[in-house]
Amino acid sequence: MCVGILDALLLRDGKRSRVGIFRLGFLLYQSSPNLKSFPKVAAISLIGFLRTDAPIRASVKTCKALMHLRIRRELTFPAIVAMSLHFVAGIASAVPPELEDTAANPDNWLVLYNTNNQESIYWVQWYSQQRSIPVGNLIGLNASTGEHLATLEDVQTQIVGPVRSLLDSDDELRGRIMGILLGYGLPGHYSTPPLGGPGGFSVADALQDMYDDTLPPAQQKQNNLVSPFYQSALLPPTGRLTRDTLPENVYIVARIDAPSLGMAYALTIRAKRIESPGSYIDTEIGWYDYTDSHFTSGVWPWLRTAVETSSLAVPWQAFDSDFEGTANDAFRIDTHDVAGWNDGRLYTEFPGSRIFAYNFNSWGATTVRSSTNEGGRFVPNAIINGYAAALGATGEPQFTAPLPAILLAGLQQGWTLGESFFLCNPLNDWMWTLIGDPLLTVPHWFDESPPPPIEMGDINADGSVNGVDISLLSQAMLGSLEDPEMLARADLSGDGLINDDDAFLILGPTLWSTPTPSALQGTADLDSNGRLDGQDVDLFIQLLIGGDTSLWPLRIVWAADMNLDDQLSMLDLPIFVDRIVTAMADEPSPPIPPPDETDPEP
């Protein structure tokens, strides 16, 4: 039966059907109780993997992970089905072969969540689908729901120990994992810093190197240089890190947490917007403020180095972070206020991409779950004000901090934010934490401008709309055009289909002697016969009563949109009536036929 279902739903024209896979998911959930039993779901999922050419090993591991999560009742049945089918269907964009062994591959990340926090479970379900994290990489932890753990033993018992044990028990996973994401609702810091509170040592930093904890954290600082080359080079001389070049038992780490679940979602939503191929920052600004009396020379030297490094190609602009805002900002890096960040200075009516915000102060991330607690810390207020990521210290870091030039150099290369932070953070088992989606990338740097806009209908992008484009549209409608970029441009109406509406948009200016297709909007000539008459009235009434205009040809809908607001409503009616009445009044009266002069029959 399972094979029959898959044959019917997964295959279409001899190819995998992603829609079919989702239909199978709904069928599984809505069908008989017998089919709902989880072992059978796992079996069907396994068959689905095999029939979609996924590796057998991944299939078995994923099904085992699903069964484990379901038995522990950490994830709901619908969520498990959705997550498994999402993974089977390959909804995420494929990772290029050259990135498979890097931290840009979602398969190479562990994602941790808190089984004692229902919102954390919601978050991991959502995040794993957004980033296509394999279900076997989702690790539920029985942890405190607070932000702070009192001792090193607490963090070892609740977080570090279980993760380390998992990696030790699975050679395949350990050989693949490069990054660990500390998820929403898990503690962010632990123990007491050497100079006292508030806050504590970063939990994310503890995960960065889980095998060197023979010393108390306060004694580990001088033993934990992660990037010893940072003084002589911006980036590793060997190039981008892979699992083979990443030091053994060391992991790239980040944290996603926020004042609310919605804000946690927003971090990934913002990251994905920035990652969009059409996202450019060439007109944006990198804001900086490296002056502060707390530094010996009154200057934060590592930020000044970044500003003076011309190869970073950043259009820098100085500002006073004590009271000035940053409009049109790609990012901001500054120092040193420890509190008061809820005073509105992070807000602007004209934001840029807001890739990240970084303020070098003692306690920027001692809380990330409240914008007002502890006097208004930097990180939660940066998140609330639209930044996709923020860097902050979970406790007094003294004068050790991530190096801005390395962070920017990594992003300039197109590397992930997680990789870039790892390289720029000189210490682990210390205080600094990246709050944000570690898979964020910047596709185009400041020195790259967007290509000139392509005129609608210019399917081959040669700068003009002509007969070649009309021929290409015909090929697209017949299914013989395969170039994905041309197919995207052939969908002139943007409705995901290539049909008569697109033909109307490319042919309309010629057929109706008008310079642009939009000039055909609101004409009231619904039947396109060059006259306003009763046939147009009939069509207008049908459109108005029917409601769903998506079933009608675009040329008819456009002609009926009298007020040009891109929708058909009662607001168009009086304008349409006036146009019809005026047209009929202007028409000459038909000639009166001559009288019949023949004699009537008797």
User: According to the model, what pLDDT value does residue 593 have?
Assistant: 53
Residue 112 counted as domain residue = no
Q: Is the same domain home to 11 and 64?
A: yes
Residue 189 counted as domain residue = no
Choosing from 91, 111, 141, the residue where a domain stops is: 91
User: According to the model, what pLDDT value does residue 307 have?
Assistant: 97
Q: Is the same domain home to 502 and 484?
A: yes
Query: CA 57, CA 55: separation in Å to the nearest integer?
Result: 5
Residue 26 counted as domain residue = yes
Q: Is the distance from CB of 176 to CB of 101 less than 8 angstroms?
A: no
Place of tokens 């500390």: 182
Give the pLDDT band of residue 510 (cuts 50, 70, 90).
low
Choosing from 70, 91, 112, the residue where a domain stops is: 91
Choosing from 75, 91, 107, the residue where a domain stops is: 91
Per residue in 268-296, pLDDT (tens digit) is 999 999 998 889 999 999 999 999 988 88
Q: What percent of the chain has pLDDT over 70?
A: 76
Q: Residue 36 pLDDT more than 60?
A: no
Domain that holds residue 538: 521-586
- Mark out the alpha helices in 355-466 (DSSP H runs): 378-384, 404-412, 417-424
Q: Is the same domain home to 22 and 70?
A: yes
Strands 285-289 and 329-334: parallel
Q: Is the same domain home to 539 and 577?
A: yes
Angle (CA) 237-239-242 rounded to 5° is 125
Q: Is the same domain home to 473 and 507?
A: yes
Give the pLDDT band of residue 319 (cuts 50, 70, 90).
very high
Contacts of 382 (CB under 8 A, 6+ apart): 341, 346, 357, 359, 390
Residue 6 counted as domain residue = yes
Per residue in 483-500, pLDDT (tens digit) is 988 998 888 877 778 887
Query: CA 475, CA 158: separation in Å to the nearest integer?
Result: 60
Report CA-CA distances (Å) from 158 to 108, 140, 155, 353: 22, 11, 5, 36
Give the pLDDT band of residue 513 (cuts 50, 70, 90).
low
With b meaning 16 or more CB within 10 Å and e meaning fewer, what string describes 131-170?
bbbbbbbbbbbebbeebbbeebebbbebbbebbbeebeee
Per residue in 516-568, pLDDT (tens digit) is 556 677 888 888 788 888 888 988 888 888 777 777 887 788 888 888 887 88
Q: Is the same domain home to 1 and 75?
A: yes
Residue 379 counted as domain residue = no
Report CA-CA distances (Å) from 136 to 83, 120, 140, 250: 11, 17, 11, 20
Give the pLDDT band of residue 588 (cuts 50, 70, 90).
low
Contacts of 400 (CB under 8 A, 6+ apart): 221, 426, 427, 430
Give the pLDDT band of residue 509 (cuts 50, 70, 90).
low
Per residue in 466-487, pLDDT (tens digit) is 888 888 988 998 889 989 889 9
Q: Is the distance from CB of 283 to CB of 325 less than 8 angstroms?
A: no
Quick one: tokens of 107? 């398969």
What does the chain come to in residues? 602
Per residue in 383-405, pLDDT (tens digit) is 999 999 999 999 999 888 999 99
Per residue in 420-466, pLDDT (tens digit) is 999 999 887 889 999 999 999 999 999 999 987 777 788 888 888 88
Q: Which of 12-16, 93-97, 177-181, 292-296 has the highest mean pLDDT?
A: 177-181
Mean pLDDT across 289-313: 93
Residue 254 counted as domain residue = no
* Mean of all residue pLDDT scores within the chain: 81
Strands 356-359 and 329-334: parallel
Backbone angles phi, psi at 41, to 5 degrees: -60, -45
Choose the weakest-confidence range: 34-43, 250-259, 471-480. 34-43
Question: Greatest CA span in the chain, whole angstroms?
Answer: 128
Residue 581 counted as domain residue = yes
Give the pLDDT band of residue 589 (cuts 50, 70, 90).
low
Q: Is the same domain home to 80 and 9?
A: yes
Per residue in 321-360, pLDDT (tens digit) is 999 999 999 999 999 899 999 999 999 999 999 999 999 9
Burial of 285 (0-12, 13-18, 19+ CB in 10 A): buried
Q: Is the same domain home to 542 and 498?
A: no
Neighbours of 564 (CB within 10 A): 12
User: According to the model, what pLDDT value does residue 567 have?
Assistant: 81
Report the SS3 class of residue 316.
strand
CA 240 to chain centre: 23
Q: Is the same domain home to 536 and 515?
A: no
Place of tokens 């990198």: 286
Quick one: tokens of 456? 């609608």
Long-range contacts of 581-587 (CB under 8 A, 24+ apart): 583/524, 583/531, 583/532, 583/533, 584/532, 584/533
Q: Residue 1 pLDDT more than 80?
A: no
Q: Is the distance from CB of 342 to CB of 319 less than 8 angstroms?
A: no
Q: Is the same domain home to 15 and 86?
A: yes
Q: Is the same domain home to 546 and 496?
A: no
Give the containing element (helix H, strand E) for 488: helix 484-490
Query: CA 94, CA 270: separation in Å to the nearest integer?
Result: 21
Structural domains in the chain (count): 3
Q: Is the same domain home to 528 and 574?
A: yes
Residue 86 counted as domain residue = yes
User: According to the model, what pLDDT value does residue 3 have?
Assistant: 35
Q: Residue 121 pLDDT more than 90?
A: yes
User: According to the model, what pLDDT value does residue 40 have?
Assistant: 39
User: According to the model, what pLDDT value does residue 94 have?
Assistant: 63
Query: CA 72, CA 55: separation in Å to the nearest integer?
Result: 26
Q: What is the CATH number of the domain that holds 534?
A: 1.10.1330
